[in-house]
Amino acid sequence: MFSCALQGKNLAHYLLFTFKMCSCFLGKLIRLSYKLSRNKMKNTAVFLAAFLAVPSLALAEVPQHTETCVAAKQDDIAALFDRWNESLKTGNPQKVVANYAEKSVLLPTLSSKARFTPQEKEDYFHHFLENQPEGRIDSRTIELDCNTAIDEGLYSFVFKKTGAVAKARYTFTYKWDGKQWLITSHHSSTLPSEQTPLDEPVNAVAQHEEVCVAVSEKDIDALLERWKDSIQSGNPHRVMTHYAPKSMLLPLSSTKPRLTLDEKEEYFRHFLKNKPLVHIKSHTIELDCNTAINEGFYSYTFQKTGAIVNARYSMVFKWDGLQWLITSHHSSVFPN
């Protein structure tokens, strides 16, 4: 009995000792957990602060430069067509080509061949001028940017030698070279039917400094690929995300210029029904301050009908402060 009582006493001491040790260990464990929890919270806060700061840091690190933008108004740009038209009347192809920048592209009305060099343009106008053409603007819109401008719409030509009249769609892109405005892109395509004249917006740009976002030809290439993917998705809403609210579409398979997003969406809703696939054949890219031009040749394969259409295109992209969007898109079937 004594032995059993002693054993019970030792057992009680052992249990008390074990309880104290466990309590001590548990206390340390709790304090350690609390400390780790605080550190984790602190680290989480630091991580979140760093994460939230990333966009602003990334934005601040985007290469930029400032450009002085020449003052221009719509009348100035409209007068450039008059200058070009007067040079047509001289019958001298060299005087016509003098309106074009050294680095420029001509997608002409009556030829499927793109003209890049002054000699190629001169060759085209040598034949075009034989019938004594005289141009007239039927309707237009003009957009002004920093040292660039777009004049696009509908024009017609009277050929004095033959008496023929030709109606066409046009897109002129101009650039200020430090001394004068010159054409950097001219896309002209025949018009199969009559058009309703467009309203002419009136605005002007005063001289100002503009911060120009850095961009490469690879970036602009990616914009065209993104547009191409949206066409092949068959979703008109997705296609529309690439166009600026203020933009013009001179479409491939319609004679009606599309100015509003609703008009463009209506066009693409019908256009996409035949499931077009786009193949870019060749193109050139010109980069300016917050503006870029991508133009060349592409083809459409319509999966539903099996038809293949070869076409020419001119796309003007503009940086709106957040993203690049299409402000002008002129698409035309190859001339016969």
Is 0.75 surpassed by the pTM of this model? no
Q: Which two tokens stand for residue 107?
A: 């997608």
Is the pLDDT assigned to residue 129 strictly greater than 60? yes
Is the pLDDT assigned to residue 63 strictly greater than 80? no
Is the pLDDT assigned to residue 198 strictly greater than 50? no
Q: Dihedrals φ, ψ of 109, to 5°? A: -65, -45
For residue 172, the SS3 value is strand
Q: What is the mean pLDDT of residues 171-200?
A: 79
What is the per-residue DSSP string for 26-54? HHHHHHHHHHHHHHHHHHHHHHHHHHHHH
> Residues 184, 47: contact at Cβ < 8 Å?
no
Cα(145)–Cα(234) distance, integer angstroms: 32
Give the tens place of pLDDT for each residue, 26-62: 455 445 444 444 444 444 444 444 434 444 434 445 5
Is the pLDDT assigned to residue 87 strictly greater than 70? yes
Q: What is the mean pLDDT of residues 252-264?
A: 91
Give the pLDDT band of residue 93 (cuts 50, 70, 90): very high
Query: Please, what is the Cα angle at 310 between 132 and 319, to 5 degrees?
Result: 85
Q: What is the overall mean pLDDT for the chain?
A: 83
Burial environment of residue 41 by CB neighbours within 10 A (0 to 12, 13 to 18, 19 or more): exposed
> Residues 320, 244: contact at Cβ < 8 Å?
yes
Residue labelled with tokens 């100035």 = 76
The pLDDT > 90 percentage for the chain reads 70
Q: What is the mean pLDDT of residues 64-73?
A: 90
Tell which residue, 105, 115, 110, 104, has the closest CA to residue 127.
110
What is the per-residue DSSP string for 249-310? EE-SS-SS-B-SHHHHHHHHHHHGGG-EEEEEEEEEEEEETTEEEEEEEEEEEETTT--EEE
Cα(127)–Cα(124) distance, integer angstroms: 6
Q: What is the pLDDT of residue 210?
A: 81
Specify the higher pLDDT residue, 177 or 64. Answer: 177
Q: What is the pLDDT of residue 78?
A: 97
